[in-house]
A = this chain, B = another copy of it.
Amino acid sequence: MTQAQRPEPCDFLIEAGFVVPVEPLGVVLQDHAVAVTDGEIVAVMPIAEARRRFAATETVQRPDAALIPGLVNAHTHNPMTLLRGIADDLPLMVWLREHIWPAEAAVMGPESVADGVGLAIAEMLRGGTTCCNENYFFPDVQAVVYRRHGFRAVIGLPIIDFPTAWAQTADEYFERAVEVHDQWRGDALIGTAFAPHAPYTVGDANFERIRVLADQLDIPVHLHTHETAQEVADSVQLHGQRPLARLDRLGLVNDRLIAVHMTQLAEAEIELCAERGVSVVHCPESNLKLASGFCPAGALQRAGVNLAIGTDGCASNNDLDMFGETRTAALLAKAVAGDATVLNAAVALRAATLGGARAIGLGARIGSIELGKRADLACVDLSMIETQPLHHVLSQLVYAVGRHQVTDVWIDGRRRMAARELVDIDLAQVAANARQWRARIAVGGG
């Protein structure tokens, strides 16, 4: 070597005891650093080497932590965080008709949507989630709140065959959808997806409009389907086809489709999803709590289907804890498959990060710690007594970590949580906002 290289500038360097890039699968890099400039990951290398190469404006040292890609919650109804625990332990239709719908009728509107999303963002950041796939009414309001807090979100554009506070007619649903899409087109953090509610609440005509528009706008289609045996039976009775077959007839079974729940799947349907590049979002805790059934996550994994993980809304979960949800997914898959090797820790963590990113069309931008990707990152402290001794990092992350072990979060290269403190969110204010909705919701259905 003839001469020392002049150090390159970089915005910040995170030096971690372990870096878990997710891609390649199963890799754990010990004592590595991640360098970020202009929100982009520009280097992943041993700490000593990074110190020689970079002159960082800021260096964050986390020798006891694992740095992981931020978690991607691939199916949420975050405004419903205000309904956390409003009614539990009830059959689906009693729960909906006697509690959720009356509560929503009482309070659903731009104000409650904004406060619910604000509460959800605080909870998600504190649990290492940096991106969510949102599905609720008033997407315009949601987008503003996510953007204000620098949170990455794909906002569902709701389509449903009956009038709601958001829109009255099919035409109005589509007009408002395109309006919201246009408003946020090209935004660094906010994307959109069509969000037809479910096969039993959306008719063929609207699904056909969605297919055409989703292609034109180049956005995903985010849909609850095959959630319960009843839904499948009703579809057969009404349409002479199971929901997936009907969606296929309508041209929607392709790599735009984000199919949520999928607890009722025949072998051929799993193969179809694999062939067509459908992403399946597994929401195990919601499926268990509502007694909907068991998504065959192991069989989907074996077939090569892109698997993502979602918490569903807080009214049916009752949290936005992606660490907990991922653990439940990994545990449940084994008993459902009768095979303890499926959804191992590495595969489960991939589903919670890169799998979610791919599902929502962001697989090239986020979901793993790779050169050129945006810096959506979370630091997880593994030195706590609950993760000692530390035999295997991936095992601890999936099977033992609690979300309170997340210390730091970055989204698009901007610090959102630092040493457990949210950067620009006043927690007391968020909690006060949530509390003032409590009484108003109770009047409705709580």
The reply to whether B395 and A85 form a contact with Cβ atoms under 8 Å apart is yes
Looking at the complex, which one of B294, B334, B337, B438 makes contact with A390 (CB distance below 8 Å)? B438
The reply to whether B85 and A391 form a contact with Cβ atoms under 8 Å apart is yes
Query: Most chain-B CB neighbours within 10 Å: which of A291, A328, A332, A396?
Result: A291
> How many chain A residues touch the partner (CB < 8 A)?
72
The reply to whether A399 and B318 form a contact with Cβ atoms under 8 Å apart is yes
A108 to chain B, nearest CB (A): 15
User: Which residues on the B side are within 8 Å of A285 (C-beta)?
Assistant: 331
Q: Does A54 contact B (CB under 8 A)?
A: no
The reply to whether A402 and B403 form a contact with Cβ atoms under 8 Å apart is yes
User: Which residues on the B side are within 8 Å of A90 (C-beta)?
Assistant: 340-341
A51 to chain B, nearest CB (A): 26
Looking at the complex, which one of B288, B330, B334 makes contact with A331 (CB distance below 8 Å)? B288
Interface secondary structure of A, over-half rule: helix
User: Which residues on the B side are within 8 Å of A85 (C-beta)?
Assistant: 390-392, 395-396, 399-400
Query: With A123-B385, A383-B431 known to touch, is A391 a contact of B291 (CB < 8 Å)?
Result: no
A 372-421 contacts with B by CB, 8 A: 383, 385-392, 395-396, 399-400, 402-404
The reply to whether B91 and A435 form a contact with Cβ atoms under 8 Å apart is no
A441 to B396, CA, bound (A): 16
A402 to B338, CA, bound (A): 29
The reply to whether A431 and B293 form a contact with Cβ atoms under 8 Å apart is no
Query: With A88-B345, A345-B89, A427-B385 known to touch, is A331 a contact of B404 (CB < 8 Å)?
Result: no
A431 to B287, CA, bound (A): 37
Query: Most chain-B CB neighbours within 10 Å: which of A95, A319, A437?
Result: A319
Q: Does A126 contact B (CB under 8 A)?
A: yes
The reply to whether A291 and B86 form a contact with Cβ atoms under 8 Å apart is no
Could you mark each residue 301-324 of chain A with 1 if its beta carbon is under 8 Å from any beta carbon of chain B, else 0?
000000000000000011101001
The reply to whether B84 and A291 form a contact with Cβ atoms under 8 Å apart is no
A17 to chain B, nearest CB (A): 13
The reply to whether B86 and A391 form a contact with Cβ atoms under 8 Å apart is yes
Q: Does A92 contact B (CB under 8 A)?
A: yes
Q: Does A119 contact B (CB under 8 A)?
A: yes
Could you mark each residue 281-300 of chain A with 1 if its beta carbon is under 8 Å from any beta carbon of chain B, else 0?
00001011111111000000
Q: Does A267 contact B (CB under 8 A)?
A: no
Query: With A89-B341, A89-B345, A399-B85 known to touch, is A385 a contact of B291 (CB < 8 Å)?
Result: no
- Give me 11 A-to-B residue pairs in the complex whose CB atoms sit less than 8 angstroms apart, sorted by A's number: A85-B392, A86-B392, A88-B345, A89-B334, A89-B340, A89-B345, A288-B332, A288-B334, A318-B395, A321-B402, A332-B332
Apart from A85-B399, A293-B335, list 19 A-B contacts with CB within 8 A. A82-B389, A88-B392, A89-B340, A95-B340, A119-B388, A126-B385, A290-B334, A290-B340, A291-B334, A291-B335, A292-B335, A318-B399, A319-B399, A332-B332, A385-B430, A388-B431, A388-B434, A390-B435, A392-B446
Report, nearest first, the 9 A-B pairs whose CB atoms are least far apart: A85-B395, A89-B344, A288-B331, A318-B399, A389-B438, A404-B404, A291-B340, A291-B334, A288-B335
